[in-house]
Amino acid sequence: MSNKIKYISINKNLIYIENIPNNVKTFNDLITNNNTNNTINYNSQNYYILNNGKLIDKYEIIYTFVNNYNKKNKYSNNNILHLDINIKQNGGGGIADIFTSILKIGDFFIFIYNALVWFVKFIWWFVTFLVWLFTDLLNPLILFTDFFNSLIAIVLAICRLPFDILMALMSFSVNILGGWMQGFWGWDQSSLTANDKNSNYFKKINRNKGKKCYLTNTNTVPFSVVLGTILCPPIGVFMDMGLTGWLNILICILLTLLFYIPGLVYALLIIYS
């Protein structure tokens, strides 16, 4: 026997071929023999042998294979013949395995279907989002309209601020002067007692916010206000509300210009409301 190969490597376990027992003739004997050192026991039907990717007959005589190997190969690395033992995969388990495989294939197609449904929904949402983005959020007409409306609101607020301050100062001045001129310019408080003026009803009234400009007893309309209303309805509204009721006074003036009667009715409604 050639000395080019002295060792056999079975799955990286080295075996010195000159020390192989006499009862070991084939590779199958070598692999399945319990008395062989560094061998692995395999069932004779569940494995196959490879050498450099080539299949080897497990029942081939070891020394015959080595001699043939040496004739075909001028040398071998480190005088070692490398063999790989691979376990065969078991076959199917009959009809049950067939149904199991079919179910697994069905699960795969269900997964593909769910993935396609999700993808279609995502595409639909994305298209809807793009339509909303360019037709609503980034619509030039809507952007310009919102900007223009905001600009107008800011300008009106800035322009109205001095007027509101002036009206507040005038309202405050009229309320102060009302104490001196209340007999003509506002409700007559001469009939009020000290208890009336110190009551919670009068103390809680804010003269600058929608209340009557001057204080009086409930349901009491002095003669001076009635006379002023008959002579000129807008004067009666002014005597009732003061400058804080400038809008009502303006409306009463416009109605009075319509042949006097509409303005008088409006003034009486304001006074007795």
In the block, residue with structure tokens 């004067």: 235
Phi (first) and psi of residue 208, to 5 degrees = -95, 0
Say yes or no to pLDDT of 253 above 90.
Answer: yes
Q: pLDDT of 176-227, one tens digit each? A: 655 544 444 445 455 556 676 676 656 655 444 444 555 555 556 777 788 8
Burial class (CB in 10 A: 0-12, 13-18, 19+), 127: exposed
Pairing mode of beta strands 7-10, 80-87: parallel
Cα 184 to Cα 224: distance, rounded to the nearest angstrom:
6
Domain ranges of the chain: 7-87, 95-154, 168-271
| 226 alpha carbon, distance to own chain's centre | 66
Dihedral angle at the C-alpha atoms of 225, 227, 228, 231, nearest 10 degrees?
A: 160
Cα 87 to Cα 42: distance, rounded to the nearest angstrom:
9
Sign of CA dihedral 211, 217, 218, 219: negative
Cα 17 to Cα 7: distance, rounded to the nearest angstrom:
6
H or E segment at 48? strand 47-51
**Model's pTM, two decimal places?**
0.31
Mean predicted confidence (pLDDT) in 115-140: 89
Say yes or no to pLDDT of 148 above 50.
Answer: yes
H or E segment at 103? helix 95-132
Q: pLDDT of 67-83, one tens digit each? A: 888 777 765 556 788 88
Higher pLDDT, 33 or 160: 160
What token pair was written down for 257? Answer: 């210009």
